[in-house]
Amino acid sequence: MVTVTPLEAELLAVAGAVPDPELPVLTLRELGVLRAVHVRGTDAVEVELTPTYTGCPAVEAMSVDIERVLREHGVREVTVRTVLTPAWSTDDITDEGRRKLQEFGIAPPRTTRAPGPVPLSLGPTRTAAPGTSPDLDAVRCPHCGSAETELLSRFSSTACKALRRCLDCREPFDHFKEL
């Protein structure tokens, strides 16, 4: 049984409030990438951070930001360690994080029942209206809320997003795809 001391909980909150460098509307806590803070000795701290994708270049910026805020909080020595296990999943994004993504114009990931890409047949790249898709709900347009949207590209501005377009309001939008 791992117990978290009050100091560790406090430092976890400080580090968790750091905004994501790519999606500054989200904090690292809401993104679910901050795994643990361990106090080692008198004023040395080890932070466990997990990448969203193995090659995510934002990890370095996150590490620098975490070190900075913890030093400002009075910690002398900060080590940020990248951990791969257990693998991060979009299910780790908090409800508050999902709401913020939506407000920011990014369709949040759906809660996965079966992780990975959703099999599509050749041709139609539209998501069906709710009720007709057996596994996942439709990806809704973050602007007008329509469930009638189509896939433009499986990979968008970053590896974690897909590019879609709303068939009702015609706005293109990013979808934080399920992982």
Partner 1 sequence: MTVTVDAAALALGDDALVLSHRLGEWAGHAPVLEEEVALANIALDLLGQARVLLSMAGDEDELAYLREERAFRNLQLVEQPNGDFAHTIARQLYFSTYQRLLYAHLASGDGRFAGLAAKAVKEVAYHQDHAEQWTLRLGDGTDISHERMRTACRALWRYTGEMFEPVEGLDVDWEGLRSAWLESVSAVLLRATLDVPEGPPSGAWSAGAGRQGVHTEPFGLMLAEMQHLHRSHPGASW
CA distance 141 to 42: 50
Instruction: Based on the shown chain and the rule CB under 8 A, indicate whether residue 152 belongs to the binding site for partner 1.
Output: yes
Identified binder of partner 1 from the candidate list 74, 86, 131, 134, rule CB under 8 A: 86
Site track 50-79 with partner 1 (rule: CB under 8 A), x = hit: -x-xxxxx----------------------
Identified binder of partner 1 from the candidate list 5, 64, 117, 145, rule CB under 8 A: 117
Q: What strands, in cross-sheet order, belong to the sheet with 77-82?
A: 34-40, 44-49, 77-82
Instruction: Based on the shown chain and the rule CB under 8 A, indicate whether residue 6 belongs to the binding site for partner 1.
Output: no
Instruction: Based on the shown chain and the rule CB under 8 A, indicate whether residue 88 belongs to the binding site for partner 1.
Output: yes
Q: Taking the complex as a whole, how short is the minimal distance between the CB of residue 29 and partner 1, in angstroms?
A: 20
Long-range CB contacts (within 8 A, 24+) of 115-121: 115/89, 115/178, 115/179, 116/178, 116/179, 117/154, 117/177, 118/178, 120/151
What DSSP character marks residue 131? T
- For the chain, state the CA radius of gyration: 19
Q: Taking the complex as a whole, how short is the minimal distance between the CB of residue 161 and partner 1, in angstroms?
A: 9
CA distance 124 to 107: 20
Helix (H, G, I), strand (E, B) or coil at 123: coil
Instruction: Based on the shown chain and the rule CB under 8 A, indicate whether residue 136 belongs to the binding site for partner 1.
Output: no
CA distance 114 to 173: 23
Identified binder of partner 1 from the candidate list 122, 131, 132, 134, rule CB under 8 A: 122
Which listed range, 27-35, 38-46, 60-68, 158-166, lies at the site for partner 1 (CB under 8 A)? 158-166
* Chain contacts with partner 1 (rule: CB under 8 A): 51, 53-57, 84-89, 115-117, 119-120, 122, 152-159, 163, 177, 179
